[in-house]
Amino acid sequence: MFSFYQSCGKFGLHRASVGFRIQLKVFEHYFPKAYTSCIFSKTAVSPRVYQTSHISMAYFQNIDILYFVSRKTFGTTTLLAKKKKVKKDKAVLPQAEAENDFETAILNDPEFDNLRNEMDILSFLGSQSGRRYDMGVLVLQPWIKWGPNMKHNTTAQRMLDEAVALIATLPGIRIIHKEVVPVRSIDGKVVFGSGTLERLLSLSRSLQGISSVFISIEMLKLMQVEALEEVFGMRVMDRYSVVLSIFRHHARTKEAKLQVALAELPYIKKRIGIQREKERMMMMEREKRLRNTLNAISGNRALIRQNRTNSDIPTVAVVGYTNAGKTSLIHAITGDSRAEGKNYLFATLDVTAHGGRLPCGLEVLFIDTVGFIQDIPTDLIASFKATLEDAVFANVVVHIQDASNPDYKLQGMIVEDTLSSLPLPKDTPIITVANKIDLGTNSSDIDDNRTHMVSSTTGQGLDSLLSDIEDKVLKVTGRKYWRFALSTGSDEIRWLRNATGLVYEEVNPDNPQITEVVAVMTSQEVAAYNRRFKCRN
């Protein structure tokens, strides 16, 4: 099974697509059942960074063959060369057919599917059956009125708004009624007081079309679910099941699907209780297989990361609360059409790398990551932590926040908490960004002395952000500016152009034999330059 990805760099789409289609015909001839997909994208970065980011992407998206076209390298040779490169990567990244089958078998296990469907009302939403569902939902946001468990950095209304945004992300959901319900604690057998429960029950009966209740707390206990389902006479969901379902729905790559499969196990385990021994054994076995497979993938990711490190391209990870604008910021900076912001929560579930340039001309990879959210169980977050490893290994982290969100401060704290639980090296610079300032800001909470105020939509503030990213990248990677006066058209200039970030290159107007060049170089690059050219002079 092959997937093809074709990119055309700065080169025209038309010529690229003609060449690509010819190649596809050849492949279709030899591999008639091969799956082929054709994705075009243009970029303004060099083939080196472009190809590195696409090789990472190919791995994350299970693409087997990358096809690059550029002015210099167009043609079959490129294809073969790239095939070899991918093959070489495959040699160190064992992804045998059998292993693929094994992963597919875990993901499509009918016995487990039945159990999931029985336990999780929303499980069908992630299915590939293409059936359309229509589910009328009553959304209830419990709000603890006082005591140590009361929330201080948000309001009941904002919590309700987030609960609505969460469930509305799922297809086929109609919100019939929503409200905040004050409670003393969320630990009671039926969560709400008896009078309140009676009122909610008659409300659910009087409003037409309600077929399930979403109680927006982290996770209901089994006895609470049973008691509430009995009272309402319909299925009851919590935040865990809703977020799980969103993840299931948005997972595209095999890794993301396996992570969701792992994340749903504790949820189902808690729901089946302790009596069903056979099912519990089946889940233990499944968990073991999932963990082994994910560990193997995680090893492969480390190798990909190693490849990126070897090619010495600095990385900048963009992290933040879900919907803050991570993907949009990367799109605004790199122009990469693969990074497209979407107005729903957890749009991005896969880590992807996108090539871009800093103002000094240095090429960097921007890493898009999975968003964070409050009040979801650690089990769910834990299964996605591996995905955040790329952030852990980045040279610089950009923490982006939604400046227009009234919960700006709380969302920032949740991201900081999650970041602090990752093994991020202490000296990794973290740049804070307040995005969406075109929508107005919640200025009292934003410390604009240490925060970049930007809009990924209008481009406002991006220049200053990029120059800060540049300062930090140069500092942590030990790069410095170097000024040269070299013979015009010389090998030295060509080498510097290819191997480093060239900031400036201009023929001296008084002496056209000489070109002034400014390059950004690491000490290793300076040493390589000296080895290559110093002895000649």
Residue nearest to Mg ion (CB): 348
Per-residue contact flags (x/-) with Mg ion for residues 481 to 500, judged by CB under 5 A: --------------------
Interatomic CA distance for residues 498 and 496, integer angstroms: 5
Q: What are the φ/ψ torsions at residue 144 (nearest 5 degrees)?
A: -75, 125
**Nearest CB to ligand GTP, comparing residues 237 and 347:** 347
Per-residue contact flags (x/-) with Mg ion for residues 333 to 362, judged by CB under 5 A: --------------xx--------------
Tokens of 150: 């009361």
**Nearest CB to Mg ion, comparing residues 293 and 327:** 327
Q: Which of 106, 170, 246, 345 binds ligand GTP (CB under 6 A)?
A: 345
Using CA atoms, how far residue 363 sits from 272, 279, 324, 529, in Å, is 51, 51, 25, 18
Tell me how far, at minimum, the Cβ of 332 lies from Mg ion, in Å. Answer: 13
Tell me how far, at minimum, the Cβ of 252 lies from ligand GTP, in Å. Answer: 12
Q: Which of 56, 327, 401, 515 binds Mg ion (CB under 5 A)?
A: 327
Tell me how far, at minimum, the Cβ of 461 lies from ligand GTP, in Å. Answer: 9
**Nearest CB to ligand GTP, comparing residues 249 and 436:** 436
**Nearest CB to Mg ion, comparing residues 322 and 395:** 322
Other Cβ atoms less than 10 A from the Cβ of 408: the count is: 22
SS (H, E, C) 217-284: CCCCCHHHHHHHHHHHCCEEECHHHHHHHHHHHHCCCHHHHHHHHHHHHHHHHHHHCCCCHHHHHHHH
Q: Does 53 bind Mg ion (CB under 5 A)?
A: no
Q: Which of 435, 441, 500, 515 binds ligand GTP (CB under 6 A)?
A: 435
Query: Pick from Mg ion, ligand GTP, none: which does 377 bind, CB < 5 to 8 A by kind?
Result: none
Using CA atoms, how far residue 59 sits from 42, 84, 119, 301, 305, in Å, is 20, 15, 33, 8, 11
Query: Pick from Mg ion, ligand GTP, none: which does 505 bind, CB < 5 to 8 A by kind?
Result: none
Residue found by looking up tokens 């002034």 in the block: 516
Tell me how far, at minimum, the Cβ of 71 lies from ligand GTP, in Å. Answer: 32
Q: Does 246 bind Mg ion (CB under 5 A)?
A: no
DSSP codes, 339-390:
----SSTT---S-EEEEEE-TTS-EEEEEE---B-SS--HHHHHHHHGGGHH
Number of residues that this document lists for the chain: 537
Judge whether 210 and 136 are in contact, CB under 8 Å: yes
DSSP 67: E
Tell me how far, at minimum, the Cβ of 215 lies from ligand GTP, in Å. Answer: 23
Tell me how far, at minimum, the Cβ of 331 lies from ligand GTP, in Å. Answer: 7
Q: Which of 45, 69, 227, 324 binds ligand GTP (CB under 6 A)?
A: 324
Residues 170-229 that bind ligand GTP (CB under 6 A): none
Tokens of 421: 């639980």
Tell me how far, at minimum, the Cβ of 436 lies from Mg ion, in Å. Answer: 14
Residue found by looking up tokens 């170097």 in the block: 482
Q: Does 354 bind ligand GTP (CB under 6 A)?
A: no
Tell me how far, at minimum, the Cβ of 456 lies from ligand GTP, in Å. Answer: 4
SS3 330: helix
Query: Pick from ligand GTP, Mg ion, none: which does 451 bind, CB < 5 to 8 A by kind?
Result: none
| Interacting residues of 281 by C-beta distance below 8 A, sequence separation 6+ | none
Q: Which of 326, 354, 472, 479 binds ligand GTP (CB under 6 A)?
A: 326
Interatomic CA distance for residues 317 and 501, integer angstroms: 20
Torsion angle of the four alpha carbons 21, 22, 27, 30, in this order, in degrees rounded to the nearest 10: 140
Q: Does 327 bind ligand GTP (CB under 6 A)?
A: yes
**Nearest CB to Mg ion, comparing residues 220 and 415:** 415
Strands (E), 372-523: 396-402, 430-435, 451-453, 480-487, 501-507, 514-521
Tell me how far, at minimum, the Cβ of 367 lies from Mg ion, in Å. Answer: 12
Q: Where are the alpha helices (DSSP H) in 393-453?
A: 408-420
> Amino acid identity, residue 289?
R
Q: Does 263 bind ligand GTP (CB under 6 A)?
A: no
Interatomic CA distance for residues 50 and 356, integer angstroms: 8
Query: Pick from ligand GTP, Mg ion, none: which does 324 bind, CB < 5 to 8 A by kind?
Result: ligand GTP
Size of the site for ligand GTP (CB under 6 A): 23
Q: Does 411 bind ligand GTP (CB under 6 A)?
A: no
Interatomic CA distance for residues 8 and 28, integer angstroms: 21
Q: Does 435 bind Mg ion (CB under 5 A)?
A: no
**Nearest CB to Mg ion, comparing residues 326 and 338:** 326
Residues 451-480 that bind ligand GTP (CB under 6 A): 455-457
Q: Which of 126, 320, 355, 501 binds ligand GTP (CB under 6 A)?
A: 320
- Which residues, listed in sequence order, are joined to residue 315 by a DSSP beta bridge? 365
Q: Does 343 bind ligand GTP (CB under 6 A)?
A: yes
Q: Does 342 bind ligand GTP (CB under 6 A)?
A: yes
Q: Does 262 bind Mg ion (CB under 5 A)?
A: no
| Interacting residues of 488 by C-beta distance below 8 A, sequence separation 6+ | 507, 512, 513, 514, 515
SS3 38: coil
Residues found near ligand GTP in the complex (CB under 6 A): 320, 322-328, 341-343, 345-348, 371, 435-436, 438-439, 455-457
Residues found near Mg ion in the complex (CB under 5 A): 326-327, 347-348
